[in-house]
Amino acid sequence: MIRKHRLFLPILAFLWLSSFAADNSSPTLKSVMQGLGRSMNNLNQGIFLEDFTLIEKAALEVASHPKPKSQLPTIIKTLNVRMPQFKSTDSKVHHSAIDIAKLAKKRDMAGILNKHSVIMENCVACHTQFRLEISRVLSQ
């Protein structure tokens, strides 16, 4: 009985602490971006293979990328009045990815390519305007 308790409490403490760790850890913007890069590679692969299941899956990954919650305040503070511009490129990526997932169901390759180029334009538009600046403040 006593032995059981000796094990039980540390295990409980461990579970409690690890649930905290899970709450506090939000991904960095850099890791979010690396995930987006991989999802876009999957999307391209789906397009080249005409694999509409893969296209839909990869597009949904792009649309539902996680937010870098802990870094967001620094980004907002740095960009200030330019924040809407930053957000606008992100939401164009998001909406076009949702559109691609729908178009994949209809096997509409022309439509998919059209939205794919909107995504690419907005990935690059955000990078051209903000990447270096944000990368610098986040690495401080």
Which residues make up the interface to ligand HEC (CB under 6 A)?
A: 29-30, 33-34, 36-37, 40, 62, 86, 89-90, 93, 119, 122-123, 126-127, 130-131, 134-135, 138
Residue 52 or 122 having the CB closest to ligand HEC: 122
Residue 52 or 63 having the CB closest to ligand HEC: 63
CB of 28 to ligand HEC, least distance (A): 7
CB of 26 to ligand HEC, least distance (A): 14
CB of 106 to ligand HEC, least distance (A): 22
Residue 127 DSSP class: I
Residue 52 or 96 having the CB closest to ligand HEC: 96
109/56 Cα distance (integer angstroms): 12
> Which contacts (CB < 8 Å, 24+ apart) does range 134-137 have?
134/29, 134/75, 134/78, 134/79, 135/30, 137/74, 137/75, 137/78
At residue 80, φ and ψ (nearest 5 deg) are 50, -115
Do 109 and 50 contact (CB within 8 A), yes or no? yes
Residue 52 or 115 having the CB closest to ligand HEC: 115
